[in-house]
DNA sequence: GTCTATAATCAGATAGAC
DNA sequence: GTCTATCTGATTATAGAC
């Protein structure tokens, strides 16, 4: 059977939103790409905002459940094991070649960077984020809650820039590294993030003197 | 004297683009905010694309020249000193309370994340980026060029997410950390980034076995 | 340099036929 | 569920007056 027209609309919207952002896409645009009438889009989703939300939450639920599953299997994990379990489902979905998941990863970058969607982002990813912060604190007992949050947020900043495959790294490495080769990006990202978080923990006990003099 | 109307247009455009992205802003919108006629906007900038480019390049030139100046003063710096010099001008501009610079930082996040502006980003920040990669390799001789590029790109991912002040960290830390307190974010960011880059260097010699099994 | 007027197109949302 | 038609208003870009 064909996938339903509702799914076709979600797929088209996902693709277009990921390429041109919320405001760069019109409802007509979505309808045309999905090859359905405009009325059907508003029948299913009422407004453009609802459509965007539904696009985001659809795969967020899949991602969250996979992440929870992997995290629940970890017993007293190191930071590296923790981050690997966090990245692994996303990596698997993207590396499967799914056009939808690759579009979703770009959308994810838009979501975390735009304050208009902070609420939606918190609803979609907040629960697993809090679980990650707790787990970071267990893996690295010397860290404070504040620094664990900071470490997690930095990891997210790296993750979305890597999974969004913007081509920045291709450019600066003269093609030696491809941003589309997500699989080989995971291991460096895990090591970078784990070492970074550890550096945040250490700093609080030892090097708590500010490196930067504040003169403003 | 009042600042020129051309500058008022650039300021208005910067503010609006940073809040709603390229497609979320209309030329009329810019004209109204700048309190000038619509025709004057197209007289000075012809098209919306040119306006966006000019907004980006205006402060990029200021930022680049300050960064180059600080970098040129460093003699055989550690990774921490290198990153601190890289962040410091941006921190100073943002912490000065300048509304324009804070808007610009959000715009910077949009720029690095959207593949439509990869060319513009490379033109605006590419030269200093290459200098940073060279400096990273000097500070950490064990690292390959590819991994130095990767480390730099990760640092940029963290930097834009921090300077964009999206409020993500406020939310997850229950207000214990404010994303708007950019000054106190620098020192952790420096330590996180430096430790992360070192972990990339080490991994190439020692732990080169992949942490993730590739099954796709 | 500055602004008004307008052309040609496209936007989101709704009403209603099938 | 599906689509056509349409309302109302906004969009970029241009032409031309001052």
CA of A9 to C1' of C13 (A): 17
Contacts of A75 (CB under 8 A, 6+ apart): none
CA distance B41 to A28: 29
Cβ–Cβ of B118/A166 closer than 8 Å?
yes
Cβ–Cβ of B112/A183 closer than 8 Å?
no
CA distance B203 to B142: 10
Phi and psi dihedrals of B106, rounded to 5? -65, -40
Does the A1-46 domain belong in CATH 2.40.70.10? no
Residues 12-41 of chain A in contact with strand C via CB under 7 angstroms: 25-29, 38-39
The conformation of residue A166, written as its DSSP 8-state character, comes to -
pLDDT tens, position by position, A101-127: 999 999 999 999 888 999 999 999 999
CA distance B129 to B71: 12
What confidence score (pLDDT) does residue A214 get? 43
The conformation of residue A37, written as its DSSP 8-state character, comes to -
What confidence score (pLDDT) does residue A183 get? 86
> Domain segments of chain B: what residues?
1-46, 59-205
Please list the pLDDT of chain B residue by residue as tens digits (216 residues): 457 899 999 999 999 999 999 999 999 999 999 999 999 999 999 999 999 999 999 999 999 999 999 999 999 999 999 999 999 999 999 999 999 999 999 999 999 988 889 999 999 999 999 999 999 999 999 999 999 999 999 999 999 999 998 888 898 888 889 998 888 999 999 999 999 999 999 866 554 444 444 443
Which nucleotide is at minimal CA–C1' distance from B44?
A: C1
Q: Residue A202's pLDDT band (boundaries 50, 70, 90)?
A: confident
Q: Comparing C-alpha atoms, which of A134, A127, A161, A128 is closest to residue A149?
A: A134
Whether A177 sits with its Cβ under 7 A from any strand D atom: the answer reads no
Using the structure block, give the residue that is written with the tokens 């992360």. Answer: B196
CA distance A147 to A204: 9
What is the model's pTM?
0.93
Whether A37 sits with its Cβ under 7 A from any strand D atom: the answer reads yes
* C-beta neighbour count of A110 within 10 angstroms: 24
What confidence score (pLDDT) does residue B213 get? 47
CA distance A154 to A152: 5
CA distance A35 to B72: 57
CA distance A152 to A78: 15
What confidence score (pLDDT) does residue A113 get? 87
CA distance B172 to B169: 5
CA of B50 to C1' of D7 (A): 34
The CA-atom distances, in angstroms, between B101 and each of A31, A51, B11, B41, B196 are 39, 33, 10, 22, 28
Same CATH topology for B1-46 and B59-205: the answer is no
What confidence score (pLDDT) does residue B2 get? 59
What confidence score (pLDDT) does residue A210 get? 47
What percent helix, strand, coil does chain B show, rounded to 5?
A: 75, 0, 25
Using the structure block, give the residue that is written with the tokens 């501009």. Answer: B93
Whether A5 sits with its Cβ under 7 A from any strand D atom: the answer reads yes
Does the B59-205 domain belong in CATH 1.10.357.10? yes
The CATH code that applies to domain A58-205 is 1.10.357.10
């Amino acid at each position: 059977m064909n996938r339903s027209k509702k799914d076709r609309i979600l797929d088209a919207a996902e693709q277009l939103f990921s390429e041109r952002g919320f405001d760069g896409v019109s409802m007509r645009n979505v309808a045309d790409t999905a090859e359905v009438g405009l009325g059907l889009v508003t029948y299913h989703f009422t407004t453009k905002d609802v459509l965007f939300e539904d696009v985001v939450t659809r795969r967020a639920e899949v991602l969250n459940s996979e992440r929870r599953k992997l995290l629940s299997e970890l017993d007293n994990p190191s930071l590296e094991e923790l981050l690997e379990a966090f990245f692994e489902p996303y990596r698997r979905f993207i590396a499967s070649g799914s056009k939808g998941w690759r579009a979703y990863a770009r959308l994810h970058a838009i979501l975390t960077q735009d304050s208009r969607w902070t609420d939606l982002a918190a609803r979609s990813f907040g629960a697993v984020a809090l679980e990650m912060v707790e787990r970071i604190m267990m893996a690295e007992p010397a860290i404070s809650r504040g620094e664990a949050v900071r470490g997690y947020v930095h990891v997210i900043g790296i993750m979305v820039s890597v999974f969004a495959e913007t081509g920045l790294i291709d450019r600066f490495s003269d093609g030696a590294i491809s941003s589309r080769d997500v699989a080989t990006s995971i291991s460096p990202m895990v090591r970078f993030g784990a070492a970074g978080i550890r550096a945040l923990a250490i700093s609080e006990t030892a090097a708590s003197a500010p490196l930067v003099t504040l003169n403003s």
